[in-house]
Amino acid sequence: MRIYKINLIPYGFMTAFPDSQTIFGAICWAIRELYGEEELEQLLDNFKEHENRFIVSSSFMDGLFKASIMNWAKLDEIIEIGNRVGVKGSQLAVRSKSLKKIEYFSEVLFRDYLKGEIGRLDLVEGIISQNDKYELNRNILHYRGEEIPSIDYYEENVRRNFINRLSGTTDEGQLFYYKRIYITPNSKLYFLMKTENINYFLPVFKYMSDTGIGGDKSVGANSFKVSFESEFKYEKYMEENILLSKYIPYYEEVYWDKSFYSIIMEQCMVESRHEFHGEDIVKIQVGYIGEGSKLVLKQYKDIYGRLPIVKEIGDKKIRQNGLAFFL
């Protein structure tokens, strides 16, 4: 499958940065509305063999990639580097702890990282000595002097009435707060898609622009202009694979003892379309391997992970996207 970059430009505020399972769900709803429910069911029931199969990453700020999860250096390595570059004591502790704050790589650095050109201890020495090679700024690791995008965004908490999802009504006196996220003007998000038939999805992106991605669309949240940008090409020589989506693995897919990973537990809801009015739309709790995990895979194949059925409402089978997007 080829990889493509898809842009997301918010029309207003978000309640969260869309993750891979939210984007996957929005695409499935769009396929259902554009191409018919039968076609969607055929795709999901025969996903690995279907000509229109697809895998998506989570969304990130344009120009940034999720940093890999790893132990950059052992204590004795940090002490040895500190002695060599003349950084000791509390100053060494502060600078070495900053390695734990790395959340994103710049795109230029990420591409070099995939090619195996970022030496682990060389990077640690660069951060500790604050030399001219690397810089950690606002949790973004990048080359010193490199122009990087802003990740500034504004959050506010807004009070709303609690809605009983079974009755569709408000409960007296029940209030809750939810988050609104605004990114800076001229900023945008993106996600990556693997597919063999990108033309099939171009109308899907237009439909998603009209309907939104995620919950709370009725109050103006999570609306985006969704647009195809280009094919995404990269070089990779490292053995490990960087996960850019949430992943529900088959245990035998991964060398777990050689990998670094995080585990996330989530309990989501089915999108509350009119056909589910009055139904219990809360899914079972699902565990994922989180974005940024650095995994060594046992074999090459096009699709890793699962699409388990996590709920049934009437005759509808609700799946959870746990397909892995690796680079």
**Residue 291 pLDDT:** 96
Residue 147 pLDDT class (50, 70, 90 cuts): confident
Residue 298 pLDDT class (50, 70, 90 cuts): very high
Three-state secondary structure string covering 62-80:
CCEEECCCCCCCCHHHHHH
Termini Cα distance of the chain: 12
Name the residue with higher pLDDT: 272 or 86. Answer: 86
- Among 200, 245, 195, 204, which Cα is nearest to 3's? 195
**Residue 317 pLDDT:** 80
pLDDT per residue over 2-18, tens digit each? 999 999 988 877 778 89
**Residue 290 pLDDT:** 95
Average per-residue pLDDT in the chain? 85
**Residue 316 pLDDT:** 74
Query: For the CA atoms of the chain, what is the radius of gyration?
Result: 22
CA 288 to chain CA centroid, Å, is 12
pLDDT beyond 70 at 24: yes
- Which residue type occupies 12? G
Mean per-residue pLDDT, 308-313: 76
Lowest mean pLDDT among 86-100, 231-245, 311-325: 311-325
Mean per-residue pLDDT, 48-67: 94
**Residue 158 pLDDT:** 55
pLDDT beyond 70 at 150: no
**DSSP 3-state assignment of 198?**
helix
Residue 281 pLDDT class (50, 70, 90 cuts): low
Confirm if 4 and 190 have CB atoms less than 8 A apart: no
